[in-house]
């Protein structure tokens, strides 16, 4: 398979989609306050990126026709001509954006404008004689679906996934560092069997990585089969060609998975699957934010680095957990958008309607808010230090959580009514070390068992929590 270069925005000038007036007010926060944080996505998911990809697809289709003897009478393109064509999307700069917009004002059709823009570039070159092959047999959706698939693939693989994996790795690293640090668990908000802070972070890291494995394995589908998916124009104009085979070679040559059976549009099911997985990752990350926020409120974490100097405009002592709160809000926006993308894109009336066209223009916004959340979580985690004294104080104040351990040993040794006796001792009251040890001493357990229970503390009653962190280093 020939190498197909991936077009990207020029690096030596302003972004291709930069507004003419850089001082103009932005309607949304992603293009205003948070522009720097989401700028890497603009290279892949902006309006300019969409048109750059459309040019890329039009060019590669012309190269395909000019190198595969698909259409009788079409001459072979030279290496220099192919190189010229492939420079078109790479050089799609701010001036080209403006020119394309001018053409679209005349055509009132975005893909037709791209076709005319490409043809302009062939005028006066050795490719002028093949200019009418641009967009041959193409419906707009042949170009659009491949463009979106390439855009989303690169945005996910080059921008979103590295950022998401970095967050999961940060959580996993914290889990390893804090694997041995005992912590009072809370089920239903009430004191429960102790765990370790590292183990609880490991649970979240493991959940995040499971969702990322699904995104890592995502398929990006494409189709290239004409106005209603029948190759009708193709087969009528050139009846002797195996057009499904040509389509498959072209789509897979772009690095996508070929969808052999569609209407005018590619069905977008792959997008719905991807967005559901990204949104589910976001729900887990949201859970991490709320848990870490709560641990901060308990004093288990101190916010000590990189949080800025002002926590409250009036209360000097405060350092607010704003990174996690900001992440929560952005995750909620992104998940709502991913959810509506998933629900809308899987439905198209009969062979085609335009709901998907409008909806797909919000893909970048959904990923933008998600990426912004990832940045905030990383910054928030980087500013935390565990506070062992606060964790130890909570544990020492809740000796009643050892009731589970004591009644379990009593059951093993056949003592009567173990649950009921521990319930009477611990339910609705605080039990200190002396009271618990006195109770154990009066049970009549074998000496070795009584001694072992007497030595047990809330801080040492963590089972194999620390060892469970090692699951993060296991490869399935």
What's the rounded Cα separation, in Å, for the pair 14 and 16? 6
Distances (CA, A) of 226 to 236, 261, 390: 12, 11, 66
What's the rounded Cα separation, in Å, for the pair 288 and 219? 28
Inter-axis angle of helices 243-253 and 47-65, to 10 degrees? Answer: 130
Marked catalytic residue, from 312, 408, 413, 460: 312
Strand 384-386, strand 257-258: pairing: unpaired
With beta carbons less than 8 A apart as the criterion, state whether 9 and 52 touch.
yes
| Ordered alpha helix ranges (H), 68-160 | 79-90, 94-107, 110-122, 140-154
Exposed, middle or buried, 66 (CB in 10 Å: 0-12/13-18/19+)? Answer: buried
With beta carbons less than 8 A apart as the criterion, state whether 372 and 38 touch.
yes
Distance spanning both ends of the chain, measured CA to CA = 32
With beta carbons less than 8 A apart as the criterion, state whether 199 and 179 touch.
yes
What's the rounded Cα separation, in Å, for the pair 86 and 432? 76
Q: Sign of the CA dihedral 164, 166, 168, 170?
A: negative
Distances (CA, A) of 177 to 174, 190, 198, 416, 471: 5, 26, 7, 42, 14
| 188 classed as catalytic | yes
What's the rounded Cα separation, in Å, for the pair 441 and 161? 56
* Three-point CA angle 98, 103, 106, nearest 5°: 135
Inter-axis angle of helices 110-122 and 47-65, to 10 degrees? Answer: 60
Give the residue among 330, 339, 336 at the shortest CA–CA distance from 370: 330
How many contiguous H segments (helices) and E segments (strands) does the chain have? Answer: 20, 6
The answer for residues whose C-beta is within 8 angstroms of residue 385's C-beta and 6 or more apart is 301, 302, 304, 305
Question: Using only C-alpha atoms, what is the Rg of the chain?
Answer: 30
Count of CB atoms situated within 10 Å of the CB of 305? 10
With beta carbons less than 8 A apart as the criterion, state whether 381 and 174 touch.
yes
What's the rounded Cα separation, in Å, for the pair 45 and 198? 37
Q: What are the residue numbers of the active site?
A: 188, 312
């Amino acid at each position: 398979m020939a190498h197909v270069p991936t077009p990207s925005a020029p690096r030596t000038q302003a972004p291709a989609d930069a507004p003419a007036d850089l001082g103009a007010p932005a309607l949304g926060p992603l293009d205003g306050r948070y522009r720097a944080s989401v700028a890497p996505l603009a290279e892949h998911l902006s309006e300019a990126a969409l048109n750059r990809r459309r040019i890329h697809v039009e060019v590669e289709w012309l190269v395909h026709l000019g190198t595969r003897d698909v259409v009788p009478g079409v001459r072979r393109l030279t290496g220099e001509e192919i190189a010229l064509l492939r420079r078109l999307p790479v050089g799609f700069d701010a001036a080209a954006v403006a020119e394309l917009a001018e053409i679209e004002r005349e055509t009132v059709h975005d893909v037709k404008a791209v076709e005319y823009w490409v043809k302009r570039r062939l005028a006066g070159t050795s490719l002028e004689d093949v200019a009418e092959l641009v967009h041959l047999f193409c419906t707009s959706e042949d170009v659009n679906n491949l463009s979106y698939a390439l855009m989303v693939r690169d945005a996910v693989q080059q921008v979103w996934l590295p950022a998401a994996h970095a967050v999961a790795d940060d959580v996993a690293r914290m889990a390893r560092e804090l694997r041995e640090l005992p912590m009072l668990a809370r089920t239903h908000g009430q004191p429960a069997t102790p765990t370790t802070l590292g183990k609880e972070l490991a649970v979240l890291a493991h959940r995040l990585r499971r969702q990322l494995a699904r995104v890592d394995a995502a398929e990006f589908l494409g189709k290239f089969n004409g106005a209603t998916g029948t190759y009708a124009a193709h087969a009528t104009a050139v009846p002797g060609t195996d057009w499904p085979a040509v389509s498959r070679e072209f789509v897979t040559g772009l690095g996508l998975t070929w969808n052999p059976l569609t209407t005018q549009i590619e069905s977008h099911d792959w997008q719905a699957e991807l967005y559901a997985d990204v949104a589910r990752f976001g729900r887990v990350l949201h859970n991490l934010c709320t848990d870490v926020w709560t641990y901060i409120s308990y004093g288990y974490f101190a916010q000590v680095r990189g949080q800025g100097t002002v926590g409250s405009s009036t209360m000097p002592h405060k350092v607010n957990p704003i990174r996690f709160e900001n992440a929560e809000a952005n995750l909620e926006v992104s998940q709502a958008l991913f959810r509506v993308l998933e629900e809308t894109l899987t439905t198209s009336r009969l062979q085609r309607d335009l709901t998907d066209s409008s909806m797909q223009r919000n893909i970048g916004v959904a990923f933008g808010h998600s990426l912004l959340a990832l940045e905030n979580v990383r910054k928030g985690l980087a500013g935390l230090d565990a506070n062992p004294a606060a964790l130890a104080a909570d544990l020492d104040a809740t000796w009643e959580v050892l009731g589970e351990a004591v009644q379990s040993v009593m059951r093993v040794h056949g003592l009567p009514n173990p649950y009921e006796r521990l319930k009477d001792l611990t339910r609705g009251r605080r039990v200190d070390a002396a009271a618990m040890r006195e109770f154990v001493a009066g049970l009549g357990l074998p000496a070795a068992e009584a001694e072992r229970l007497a030595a047990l503390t809330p801080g040492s009653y963590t089972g194999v929590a620390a060892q469970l962190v090692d699951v993060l280093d296991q490869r399935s």
